[in-house]
Amino acid sequence: MAGKKKKLLDRFPHPLALLFYIVVFAAILTYIVPAGSYERETIGGETQTIPGTFEYTEQNPAGILDLFSAIPEGFQQASNIVFIVFAAAMMFGILEKTGVMENTIGTLVKRLGVKRRFMIVVIMTFVYGLLGIFVGFENNIALIPIAVLLSSAIGGDKMLGAGIAIGGVVIGFGLSPFNPYTIGVGHNIAEMPLFSGWIFRSILVFIVLSVLAAYNIWYFKKILRDRQKSLSDIDTSEMQLTKPLEEYKMKRKDIAVLLVFVAGLAVMLTGVFAKGWFINEISAIFLMVAIIAGIISGMNGNQIAETCTKALAPSAFAAVIIGVAQSIQVVLTNANIGDTIAFYFTSGLDAFPTSLGVIFMAVSQSVISIFIPSGSGQALATLPIMIPVGNMIGLTRETSILAFQVGDGLINTIAPTSGGLMAMLGLCRVPYGKWLRYIIPFILIAILIGCIALVTAVLIGWGA
- Residue 180 confidence (pLDDT): 79
- Residue 115: Cβ within 10 Å count: 8
Confidence of residue 24 (pLDDT cuts 50, 70, 90): very high
- Name residue 41's beta-bridge partners: 48
Distance CA 340, CA 93 (A): 44
- Residue 8 confidence (pLDDT): 52
- Residue 406 confidence (pLDDT): 95
Confidence of residue 96 (pLDDT cuts 50, 70, 90): confident
- Residue 363 confidence (pLDDT): 92
For 137, residues 6+ apart whose C-beta sits below 8 A from its C-beta are: 169, 170, 173, 412, 420
Measuring CA to CA, how many Å separate 360 from each of 46, 253, 446? 27, 55, 16
Q: How large is the greatest C-alpha to C-alpha distance in the chain, in angstroms? A: 70
Average pLDDT value over all residues in the chain? 86
- Residue 106 confidence (pLDDT): 84
For 102, residues 6+ apart whose C-beta sits below 8 A from its C-beta are: 96, 149, 241, 242, 248
Confidence of residue 314 (pLDDT cuts 50, 70, 90): confident
Backbone angles phi, psi at 47, to 5 degrees: -90, 125
